[in-house]
Amino acid sequence: MVRENTLTKNDLIQPIFVEEETKERSPIGSLPGVFRESESSLASRVKDIQQAGINTIILFGVSHHKDAQGTDSLKMNGLFSRMIQKAKNAAPDIQVIADICLCEYTDHGHCGPLAHDGAPDNDKTLSIIAEQAIIAARSGADILAPSGMMDGMIGALRHSLDTSGYADIPLLSYAVKYASSHYGPFREAAGCSLGHDGNQVTMQSDRKAYQMDPANAREALREAALDLQEGADMLMVKPGLPYLDIIKAVKDEFQMPTFAYHVSGEYAMLKAAAEKGWLDYEATIMEQMMCFKRAGSDGIITYSAMDVAQLLDK
């Protein structure tokens, strides 16, 4: 009767990995219970998610056509476009979030083409993701979520969409994305670990040049403020649980729709502890979801979304 926060299925966003040129869905070793969907299994998966009462998904491609620029994501017949179209065709009423980034489509794994210092060339990346955003909109995406932490990315995407007839497409910005150690399983799942660059640039071995220092909190507010000035409609903090203070600070400061990403490492740690019998998975995941709500999250991207939906039904 006096509970201050509640969790519903409307708070949940289910991530889906889609691998091209495969016939069957395949399990992801570091993410127990999570699969790489094939393009043929995607429709069934999306329908199952909708039937469970989850209204929003976010798609990540596992490309077999990578290059230094991530150009396959700029084609209407490429995986990036095809998976959006197939998801919308399978469940027209479900909200599809398109991840706007190049790391899944570059052969080196960074979030854009590399500059002389081995980190992504910020301005060149902006021009490419501006094209990627139009492909996503044409393919039927409902929300675009730029995740590369490039300076000026929201302004570039907003201008590109507005001048191409897509002014109503909202932007969910990965405004506060830390250079975290919790992303490892995702990079295996999406095939975007940092690797060899065909251009023989001395590539930076991490993403600290453009993602945030975990020691910084005030910087998070500056990053979020800049994205809002450029036209962001919603803000995200990533990772989630280690940064609940940041989620609360962003929500309190801006009073804007604020999302959390319960990232792959957080999910994997919980699953591993549960398998050892050290934690009760069901009780712990529900507590974690409530912690996100208490901190101010309006939505939660989590690999546990289907599990949580089933627990809410109980």
Q: Where are the domains of the chain?
A: 9-313
Please state the separation of Cα 208 from the chain's center in Å.
18
Three-state SS string across the chain, please?
CCCCCCCCHHHEEEEEEEECCCCCCEECCCCCCCEEEECCCHHHHHHHHHHCCCCEEEEEEECCCCECCCHHHHCCCCHHHHHHHHHHHHCCCCEEEEEECCCCCECCCCCCCECCCCCECHHHHHHHHHHHHHHHHHHCCCEEEECCCCCCHHHHHHHHHHCCCCCCCCEEEEEEEECCHHHHHHHHHHCCCCCCCCCCCCCCCCCCCCCECCCCCHHHHHHHHHHHHHCCCEEEEECCHHHHHHHHHHHHHHCCCEEEEECHHHHHHHHHHHHCCCCCHHHHHHHHHHHHHHHCCCEEEECCHHHHHHHHHC
Which two tokens mark 221? 């507010």
In the prediction, which pLDDT does 117 show? 80
> For residues 108 and 33, what is the distance between their CA atoms, to the nearest angstrom?
28
pLDDT for 103 equals 86
What's residue 197's pLDDT? 47
Task: Supply the pLDDT for residue 184.
Answer: 79
Token representation of residue 178:
């830390």
Q: Tell me, what's the pLDDT at 178?
A: 96
Q: Which residues are catalytic?
A: 177, 238
In this predicted structure, what is the pLDDT of residue 108? 82
CA angle 293, 294, 296 (to 5 degrees): 65
CB 122 within 8 A of CB 112: yes
Q: What are phi and psi of 35, to 5 degrees?
A: -125, 155
Provide the b/e sequence for 25-36 (b: ≥16 CB within 10 Å).
beebebbbebbb
What pLDDT, in 10s, does the model give residues 20-57? 999 999 999 999 999 999 999 999 999 999 999 999 99
- pLDDT at residue 114, as a whole number: 87
Q: What residues in the chain have per-residue pLDDT under 50?
A: 197-201
pTM, entire model: 0.93
- At the topology level, CATH places domain 9-313 in TIM Barrel (3.20.20)
Q: Do the beta carbons of residue 55 and residue 118 sit within 8 Å?
A: no
pLDDT tens digit string along 258-302? Answer: 999 999 999 999 999 999 999 999 999 999 999 999 999 999 999
Strand-pair category, 299-302 with 258-262? parallel
